[in-house]
Structure 1
Amino acid sequence: MTLLELDGVSVHYGRIQAVSELTLRVDEGEVVALIGANGAGKSTTMRAISGIRPLSAGRITFAGEDITKLRADLRVVRGISQVPEGRGVFPGMTVAENLDMGAYARKDRKNLQPDLDRVFDLFPRLAERRNQAGGTLSGGEQQMLAMGRALMAKPRLLLLDEPSMGLAPQFIQQIFRIVTEINKQGTTVLLVEQNAQQALSRAHRAYVLETGRITKTGTGTELLADSAIKEAYLGVA
């Protein structure tokens, strides 16, 4: 079943067109990667899906509902949760308070404990630091906190925007292992990532975005084997 569909989506910043007639889909249960160079329009696409950036043209459908004009907070209620580029944790709040903020839109706030347990199971380091201020965590720990906070909304679709940016190699491996585990537990994932090797090796399907347009699509395995992708994104001539 198709969970998310973008049909002819265009996004402008003033007169500058950041995304042009973009069409893609994410099926329930998939990990779908969107790869591309800096400035290709990846983060703009994520902001359009989450409702932060309005469309100039096109339509976005989620679980069969047209959400093109739906407010961002109502998209969270529908089941779309984003982990933003740069993490965006609340630095003065504790880990526990940050996680609680992730559940702000839920109607069943009395039933948060199983989801909190799930987050601490996925990220044991957060359990150890539950009373520590978010701003005092390392970059990798803050990424874990941002992901855990997003999961507290019980999303059907998790949007991950550059989760490996600025992280040490050991944290990158750990983050991507957890992405796979989150997906195995039933959450659909749309992943924007410059680390094409990691993204494509974890993705069921992937799209290549160049200057606001989709130029290639295929399974993660197919794109990993594509000579043009190897040269452009994997550093293999």
Structure 2
Amino acid sequence: MTPLLELSGVNAAYGRIQALSDVSLTVEQGEIVTLIGANGAGKTTTMRVVSGVRPLSGGSITFDGDDISTLRADLRVVRGISQAPEGRGIFPGMTVLENLDMGAYSRRDRKNLPAEMDAVFELFPRLAERRTQVGGTLSGGEQQMLAIGRALMAKPRLLLLDEPSMGLAPQFIAQIFKIISEINRQQGVTVLLVEQNAQQALSRAHRAYVMETGRITRAGTGAELLADPAIKDAYLGVA
């Protein structure tokens, strides 16, 4: 069976700095796959090459069997790849409703948008309460909810989530990860997750990859890596 997403020998650079070296990974339809690693390991660059905002310098990316290595970022959204980026990236001067509507800018089937916006509000009741509030006045947790909700409005087949728990209070972290599992299980959306909270990420993931200095160094199921003593020592704070 063809993976939904496949990176084969991907390289990417920032000038003379090699950010990714021969990165290969797969994401199967219906999975949650997580990518863990230290700061600067290349996780966010991996997400950027998948979403199309960072060009490759080698290798290839296929989505549902088609080579998208040189496809523009906006056309990848049309194909079904949507991202909630690191730092959330909401439009701070727009209301919650306007931010969600912007997530659907590439959609032609706009008659379904009210029902899908209601589905986002069911996932995130707090956003429903703040639907007319300007995004920049929301708390960090609420902004993260809005970033994920906006990405869902593109009706993705593959949802890219880059550090969704960054800077959040513990109660929001638990809530965000619970909702990620619900999005995957109830809506059937495949998820590629970059996350420094390895405990939460691995406990939710079907499969996982470890990245170090721009390379994939280990792979396995989420449960396997969660139980690995080396992973516990390096990423879970357990010697």
Task: Give SS of 1:104's match.
Answer: coil
Q: Separation in 2 of the partners of 1:71 and 1:110?
A: 26
Corresponding residue for residue 63 of structure 2: 62
Write out aligned runs for 1:22-37 (5 A).
22-37=23-38
Structure 1 residue matching 2:59: 3-state secondary structure: strand
Aligned partner of 1:202 in structure 2 is 204
Task: Give 1:110 deviation, angstroms.
Answer: 2.0
**TM value normalised by structure 2:** 0.99
2:9 paired residue number: 8
Offset at residue 86 of structure 1 (A): 0.3
Paired residue secondary structure (2:209): strand
Deviation at 1:158, TM superposition (A): 0.1
Asked if residue 236 in structure 1 is aligned to residue 238 in structure 2, the reply is yes
1:219 to 2:210 alignment: no
Counterpart of 2:151?
Answer: 150
What is residue 195 of structure 2 aligned with on the other side? 193
Deviation for aligned residue 1:117: 1.2
CA RMSD of aligned residues (A): 0.5
Q: Residue 76 of structure 1 corresponds to which residue in structure 2?
A: 77
Q: Which amino acid aligns with 2:31?
A: E
Offset at 1:171?
0.2
Cα-to-partner distance string for 1:69-104 (whole Å, 9 max, x where unaligned): 000000000000000000011001000000000000
| Alpha-carbon distance in 1 for matches of 2:101, 2:85 | 17
Runs of 4+ aligned residues of structure 1 deviating over 4 Å after TM superposition are none
Deviations 1:185-232 (A, max 9, x none): 200000000000000000000000000000000000000000000000
CA distance in 2, matches of 1:65, 1:48: 15
Question: Percent identity at matched positions?
Answer: 79
* Deviation, structure 1 residue 113: 1.4
Task: Tell me the number of residue pairs that the alignment of Structure 1 and Structure 2 aligns.
Answer: 237
Matches within 5 A, 1:94-113: 94-113=95-114
Gaps of 5+ in 1: none
* Residue 133 in structure 1 maps to residue 126 in structure 2: no
TM-score where L is the length of structure 1? 0.99
Cα offset for 1:45? 0.2
Residues of 2 paired with 1:102 and 1:236: CA distance?
A: 40
